[in-house]
Amino acid sequence: MDQRAALSLSGILVLDKRVGRSSAQAADDVKKSFWDRGADLRTGHGGTLDPFATGVLAVCLGQATKVAGYLLADDKAYDAEVYFGIETDTFDRTGLITGMRPATFDEATLRATVAARLGEQEQIPPMFSAIKQGGARLYTLARRHEEVERVARKIRIDTYDVISFTPPRAVLRIACSKGTYIRSLVADLGTALGCGAHLSELRRTRSGILTIDQALTIDQIRTLPLAELAARMVPLPTVTGLPSITFPMDMVAQVQNGVQVKATVFGADHLERFQLIDEHGALHAIVHVDPVDRRVVYDRVFRP
């Protein structure tokens, strides 16, 4: 692959994020790996992972940065290691110890307590989180030893299984809706078991349709040929979660210029939001339909 072709790369690479890097730093590592080979690509990520966590991080390259927001809405899956008997202020191993109690429950009790926490529920976000309240990030207030009342959020737990139990540690497998704080889930479990707990390890195994089996390490990204990396990129139309409408090639100029036409022109009057792809499967636009005049309004336009 020549440099000109490399500069036009667009897609999503699934990174197996390593310990100690923030999501932004991990995305920058990928950007630098392309820069070192002559490709200055715009880079972003979809779905934040804490620095101590590993696993699936969607790194958006080129025009794929325009779909990063859609990835945030995806459901997630994790393998989480829990340490029972020790509580921390951050609910994970990076925090200060705030309490210690003996963990005296057995495996049967653990499994029953975990199983009871499936389904839709409300969760109060932790103080050590990036949520803004009163104009300030909660973690900023927490570092000043201030605690404020937080509004509970609706979450959904689809899978909550005990994979292994070797006291005082257990490994849990969790599949959940977006916005679920695994740290809080673990802290609440420890409270229910009467001993407290914190999250000691976290590995994300899935984000939407992106899985750990697709993931590359940063070392692989640095060494694999550009052509192979391009082949490993996830195409944009597959990750938005939107219905696809194929339009004829003679309408490319209209779509690229954002010409507003009736949704019926695309045979999409029954849809409120959709993506426009050409006959070769390339994504050209993400649009929504004006509820009054039923014309398409362009939210994102891409240059395949």
Reported as a single tens digit per residue, the pLDDT across 71-107 is 877 899 999 999 999 999 999 999 999 999 999 999 9
Q: Classify domain 244-301 at the CATH class level.
A: mainly beta
In terms of DSSP bridges, do strands 76-84 and 169-176 run parallel, antiparallel, or are they unpaired?
antiparallel
Tell me, yes or no, if the two domains 77-193 and 244-301 fold the same way: no
How far, in Å, CA of 28 to CA of 40, rounded?
A: 11
Question: If you search the block for the tokens 């959940």, which residue do you land on?
Answer: 176
Annotated catalytic residue within 50, 79, 89, 188 = 50
pTM tops 0.75, yes or no: yes
Which tokens hold the place of 27? 């995305």
* Separation of CA 118 from chain center: 21
User: In the predicted model, is pLDDT for residue 10 greater than 90?
Assistant: no
How far, in Å, CA of 107 to CA of 113, rounded?
A: 10
Q: What is the pLDDT of residues 145-171, one digit of tens each?
A: 878 788 899 999 999 999 999 999 999
Q: What is the pLDDT of residues 219-239, one digit of tens each?
A: 999 999 888 998 999 989 998
- Which residues share a beta bridge with 283? 277
- CA distances to 15, 114, 151 from 190, rounded to whole Å, are 31, 10, 21
> What is the pLDDT confidence band of residue 6, given thresholds at 50, 70 and 90?
low
> Sign (positive/negative) of CA torsion 125, 126, 129, 135?
positive
Q: What is the pLDDT of residues 34-74, one digit of tens each?
A: 988 888 889 999 888 999 999 999 999 999 999 988 887 78
Q: What CATH architecture applies to the domain 77-193?
A: 2-Layer Sandwich (3.30)
Is 28 one of the catalytic residues? no
Q: What is the pLDDT of residues 166-207, one digit of tens each?
A: 999 999 999 999 999 999 999 999 999 999 999 999 999 999
What residue spans define the domains of the chain? 3-73+209-236, 77-193, 244-301
